[in-house]
Amino acid sequence: MLNQGNSASDPPRPRRKRRIWRWLFIWLPLLFVVISVLQVLCLRWLEPATTAFMLERRIEALTHHETDFSLHYHWRYLNEISPWLPMSMLASEDQKFFDHDGFDVQAIDKAIVSNSKGRHIRGASTISQQVAKNLFLWGGRSYLRKGLEAWYTVLIETLWTKRRIIEVYVNIAEFGDGVYGAEAASQAFFHKPSSRLTLAESARMAAVLPSPRTYSVKAPGPFVQRHAAWIQRQVQQLGG
DSSP string covering 148-212: HHHHHHHHHHHHS-HHHHHHHHHHH-EEETTEESHHHHHHHHHSS-GGG--HHHHHHHHHTTT-T
Domain architecture of the chain: domains with CATH: 51-237 (1.10.3810.10)
pLDDT band, residue 120 (cuts 50/70/90): low
CA–CA separation, 109 and 121 (whole Å): 13
> Hey, is 72 helix, strand or coil?
strand
Predicted confidence (pLDDT) at residue 65 exceeds the cutoff of 70: yes
User: 41-50, 141-150, 176-185, 200-209: lowest mean pLDDT where?
Assistant: 141-150
pTM: 0.85
